[in-house]
Structure 1
Amino acid sequence: MSPARHCAVSIDLDGISCYYRIHGLGDPPAELEHLILERALPRAAALFASRNIHVTWFVIGRDADGDAALPDRTTRAANAQRLRTLADLGDELGNHSYSHPYELARMPSDAITAEIANCDRVLRDITGHAPKGFRAPGYDVAPAMLDTLARLGYRYDSSIFPAPGYYAAKAAVMTALAAVGRPSGAVMTNPRALAAPADPYRPSMTSPWRKGQAPVVELPIAVTPWTRLPAIGTTLLVAPEWVRGRVLSAMARRNFFNFELHGIDFADATKDGIPGELVERQPDLRIPIDDKLARLDQMLDEIAASYSFATLGDVAADVQRDE
């Protein structure tokens, strides 16, 4: 069940607070709360618009909820307008939960439903139509999520990331942080996901990492054939050029490339005033934005030689049509 030679670029719009939680740093400076949507998103949007590539943006609902009784209501409404503009231009907005709890997969089913449904409401208000897809915080999917997506009429989930190397590195970092008394706010993905199919499939409603008959399609995040190395922008941007070339060459053997990035990939530590306590722990922030954009431009050239670009929603529709 593989779509024909498509690359879908998706960008998770995780705020700076997510990275402070990952690294056990507490709360970030208040003035940085909306940095990703205010400063990083426009840079990313400009790059992909210049290449006529339509992107799937995974949105944390709270960050664009201008109607809720939350601080910075005006700023959140402005964030919603930025996203509305992208949607009007043909990009896709995907559901990334309402508040991005890393432990979402371990929460009670009614709490899972509320997180997904509240983000769904925000996205419907922004675009005027129902979202098609969902990505779980921290790539950790659970049966209750699929149940909620099915009831809401979603077309796909894109949370499975079957990369053992990434899992091992994450475990090592979390163990090290715990050892120094600064536990990470992240959680470990269910290890069964590491053996999940790497190509699009219909998951089991009770075991999302196995094939089944779910009404939604699973679009796994990219890993290389056989070795299952992570082929995501956040990793490739900090890798040596020869590593990027090897990974992209390996990915060209797959019919579908789910090329995931994060909003922070388009942040610049100096220009955006990001504190050193995060910069020293987040390697991509030590690369100036102009260098990151040049590397990404080169990667997109290589990808374009093997694939046509589409949104994840369009890929999911193709998969369902070709069954």
Structure 2
Amino acid sequence: MSKPTASLSLDLDNKWSYMKNNGAKGWEEYPSYLDIFVPYILKLLEELDLKLTFFIVGQDATFEHNHKYIRMIADAGHEIANHSFKHETFLHLYTREELEEEVDRAHTILKAVSGREPKGFRGPGFTWSETLFEVLEKKGYTYDSSTFPTIIGPLARMYYFRTSNLTVAQKRERKELFGKFSDGFMKLRPYFWKLKNNKRLLEIPVTTMPFFRIPIHLTYLTYLSSISKQLMFLYLKCAIYLCKLTRTSPIFLIHPTDLLGSDMVTGMEFFPGMQIPSNEKSVIFKKVINIFAKHFTLVTLEEYASGIYDKNKINNNRITDVY
């Protein structure tokens, strides 16, 4: 009997984007760790014989010193996807014209640098709007993966604001960062947004634990490991059991900070978990991926979306159209 599918993706948020969203000084100089992180993660993925989706920020692709590393990702066979141009966590406040420019600028530069045309999009900080979906559909995108059905978004935002140096105005812009409590009641399994003129766009939510709607991506697992590794693995196994019970194909999310510690990247001590050594994080990563691989066939989001577009798969998974 074939295993169900799980999809893996990595939001390639660079050092400057973390600094920007934290209100740290110096982000305007666009400090980068791509030269450290990309070879590091590609080596780990090669060891695991694993392909995943890289959501890349367009701004990073404008710098020639990053071109080598973006091409390395594409040349290794990983999917290149759009993570916006400026990585601002309030896309829901953008006008249609601003969204069109944001998507187009990132799309154009990523395609030019990587040689791959992005077909998927994820909003920074899980921000989205119906207008964004209309822009993506018009642009010919296959899927969006910006929704994050969790009930703890407001708590995460409160902690984030309390530990940041953001101004009152900047916090106001980010008032929907990580989503609302009501987002925890959104669909966990893929569905189609109904748009104007009978158009539609496939939505692939980032998976949270079924029933409980609490996060299961690597950032949270790594945090739990700092308390107790036994607790982390119990938490993960519970999440996998509930995903299989509810026939939910996990969309598992990774960030660079899940693999990098302060021993490899300096100036990011403000971010939780950076005190954990990089080699310890890589061990956790490998163990988590191997657990997923025991239960699921691991694919990129593009591969997963392609399967969904098959009519029989849509019917079998009971994917519905929603507003």
Common topology (TM > 0.5): yes
The separation in 2 between residues aligned to 1:25 and 1:129, in whole angstroms, is 33
Structure 1 residues 243 and 170: alpha-carbon distance in aligned structure 2, compared to 1, 3 A threshold: farther
Query: Residue 130 of structure 1 corresponds to which residue in structure 2?
Result: 117
Structure 1: state its 5+ residue gaps: 66-75, 207-212
Query: Residue 195 of structure 1 corresponds to which residue in structure 2?
Result: 185
State the 4+ residue runs in structure 1 displaced beyond 6 angstroms. 178-182
Comparing both chains, which one has the higher relative contact order based on Cα–Cα distances under 8 Å and sequence gaps of 6 or more?
1
TM-score (norm: length of structure 2) = 0.84
Aligned pair 1:244/2:232, yes or no? yes
The separation in 2 between residues aligned to 1:261 and 1:291, in whole angstroms, is 16
Would you say the 8 A contact 2:10–2:254 is kept in 1?
yes
The separation in 1 between residues aligned to 2:31 and 2:174, in whole angstroms, is 18
Offset at residue 162 of structure 1 (A): 0.9
Offset at residue 319 of structure 1 (A): 1.2
Would you say the 8 A contact 1:21–1:186 is kept in 2?
no
The separation in 2 between residues aligned to 1:116 and 1:304, in whole angstroms, is 33
Offset at residue 266 of structure 1 (A): 2.7
SS of structure 2 residue aligned to 1:316:
helix
SS of structure 2 residue aligned to 1:237:
helix
Query: Residue 259 of structure 2 corresponds to which residue in structure 1?
Result: 266
Offset at residue 29 of structure 1 (A): 8.7
Aligned pair 1:64/2:61, yes or no? yes
The separation in 2 between residues aligned to 1:317 and 1:87, in whole angstroms, is 19
SS of structure 1 residue aligned to 2:192:
coil
Identity of aligned residues (%): 22
The separation in 1 between residues aligned to 2:140 and 2:284, in whole angstroms, is 38
The separation in 1 between residues aligned to 2:28 and 2:274, in whole angstroms, is 17
Offset at residue 9 of structure 1 (A): 1.5
The separation in 2 between residues aligned to 1:62 and 1:176, in whole angstroms, is 26
Query: Residue 17 of structure 2 corresponds to which residue in structure 1?
Result: 18
Q: What's the RMSD between the two structures over aligned residues?
A: 2.5
Of residues 26, 30, 37, the one that matches 1:40 is: 37
TM-score (norm: length of structure 1) = 0.84
The separation in 1 between residues aligned to 2:41 and 2:125, in whole angstroms, is 21
Query: Residue 153 of structure 1 corresponds to which residue in structure 2?
Result: 140
Which residue identity is paired with 1:205?
Answer: L
The separation in 1 between residues aligned to 2:299 and 2:234, in whole angstroms, is 23
Structure 1 residues 308 and 29: alpha-carbon distance in aligned structure 2, compared to 1, 3 A threshold: same
Structure 1 residues 320 and 268: alpha-carbon distance in aligned structure 2, compared to 1, 3 A threshold: same
Deviations 1:159-200 (A, max 9, x none): 101111243222343257589979657442452433210111
Structure 2: state its 5+ residue gaps: 315-323
The separation in 2 between residues aligned to 1:142 and 1:91, in whole angstroms, is 27
Aligned pair 1:222/2:207, yes or no? yes
Which residue identity is paired with 2:204?
Answer: L
Query: Residue 50 of structure 1 corresponds to which residue in structure 2?
Result: 47
SS of structure 1 residue aligned to 2:152:
helix
